[in-house]
Amino acid sequence: MYVTRPLSQLVKSPETVAAKPEGPNSGYLVIQDEESVTYSCFGCCKNRTLKELPFPQDKELTVRYTTSTGESAHTSLDPVFLIPVLNQPLSSNRYYAIVPHGKHKGEAYTCSTEDDKVTCCFCRCVKDIKPRPLDPHNIYQQIQIVASQGFCSSRGAFFAKSTAEDGFPPYFLRRKGWGIYTKTPDNFKLDEAQGLDHKLRSHLPQEINASLVVGKWYSPFIFINEGISLKDQVKKSMYYELTLEQRWEKVFACNSYGEKSVKIDVVVEKEEVFVGGSKAVWNEKSVDNGVVWFTSYGPTGEKTSVGLRVEIVERMKWEQKRGGYVGGEEKQVNINRVEEFKEKGSWTEFGYYVLVERFNVKRMDGSLVLCYDFKHLHQTRAKWE
């Protein structure tokens, strides 16, 4: 799960570029805010060329490389999405390079190896291999971008090398001296996402019927699987918004028959997931290619499945654990206790509430994909009416 950082902040405070992401399976997405944009032609033209790392994730990027032979010149343009590698500071300049268009849309550029070399003109030449679905832990699908150094190199010239020692990035990235410029996509926009607000989380919703958003993150599509082709999923939502919401949920209720106390005896599920508005089933021990699948069945029996990569599930549980949630193998817990009515007069209705923290996963258009509920049984409220 990623938090965002405005590019202007990184420029003003270079030390923040070296900051490690907080917690497991996390990272930073850079947003090109208005303050970081430069202009030319007396302020009439926005400069789209990037001169320095890190590169923004709210833009589609185009790698531009020009070769000259005599009086003729040839320029090649290669579009790409660059997503920072999980668990790395922005200063590492390590990225997943994603294909934004065409036959391999949504797949990751993958480095070739010595075994992929072919014989050409009596020597061994690097042969690029085709993009493939991303495995975030495959170092051959991670590149490091480096600013070109040297007398003839200008500011804003780069090249890429493989994170793997024996890897070779695709040709358009590994050749030295390319430039890069931005294009604003028309199908997504990233806003501020600061992760967890610890202070707000500790306050809890003050009213029984109120809800409180205490955290916000983004996840690239590569960590969420809607059971459709990568090409269709990128078109549907390049990024997903994840929010953490608190609310009180009534787990027990009864009416008064003149008693001064209430005996609560109820079984509650510690975790619940909802897909398509219906309760889902899942098995965390059954992981398919790094994905945990959540499946629900609608009123007429229609099946809907959504997959979360284990990195997302593990991060959610880590956020819950540091908020006091107690996990374990048991999916259900029995609440057995007595609540005393200590006020004057009498009561007619009683409700017992448990704090629920819910992760909402939404597409860029705001439509809901999945809800993941965690019941915090150490945070309860009793309401007498």
Q: What is the pLDDT of residues 235-292, one digit of tens each?
A: 999 999 999 999 999 999 999 988 899 999 999 999 999 999 999 999 988 899 999 9
Share the mean pLDDT of the chain: 94
The model's pTM is 0.93
CB 21 within 8 A of CB 28: yes
Query: For residue 36, what pLDDT is reported?
Result: 84
Which two structure tokens, joined as six digits, stand for 257?
A: 């028959």
In the chain, where the domains are located: 2-183, 195-384
Query: Distance between CA 173 and CA 177 in Å, rounded?
Result: 10
DSSP string, 79-116: EEEEEEPTT--GGG-EEEEE--SSTTTTPBP--B-GGG
Query: For residue 121, what pLDDT is reported?
Result: 67
* Backbone phi, psi, residue 202, to 5°: -70, -20
Which two structure tokens, joined as six digits, stand for 274?
A: 């909802």
Query: Distance between CA 97 and CA 106 in Å, rounded?
Result: 10
Which of 29-43, 110-124, 267-281 is modeled with the greatest confidence?
267-281
Residue 10 gets the label, from left (phi > 0), alpha (psi -120 to 50) or beta, of alpha
Q: Residue 201: which H helix or E strand, with range?
A: helix 198-203
Mean pLDDT to the nearest integer, 40-69: 89
Contacts 24+ apart (CB under 8 A), 366-370: 369/224, 369/226, 369/240, 369/275, 369/306, 370/273, 370/274, 370/275, 370/280, 370/294, 370/306, 370/308
Which two structure tokens, joined as six digits, stand for 30?
A: 């850079």
Mean pLDDT to the nearest integer, 25-53: 87
61-75, 77-91, 144-158, 258-272: which has the minimum mean pLDDT?
144-158
Indicate if the pLDDT at residue 176 is higher than 70.
yes
Q: How many CB atoms lie within 10 A of CB 12?
A: 11
Query: For residue 111, what pLDDT is reported?
Result: 98
Query: Distance between CA 368 and CA 308 in Å, rounded?
Result: 14
Indicate if the pLDDT at residue 150 is higher than 70.
no
pLDDT digit string (tens) for 299-343?
A: 888 999 999 999 999 999 999 999 999 998 899 999 999 999 998
Query: Distance between CA 154 and CA 156 in Å, rounded?
Result: 6
The distance between the two most distant Cα atoms of the chain, rounded to a whole number of Å, is: 99
CATH 2.80.10 fits 2-183, yes or no: yes
Mean pLDDT to the nearest integer, 108-113: 97
Query: Distance between CA 28 and CA 89 in Å, rounded?
Result: 8
Strand partners, 2: 27, 218
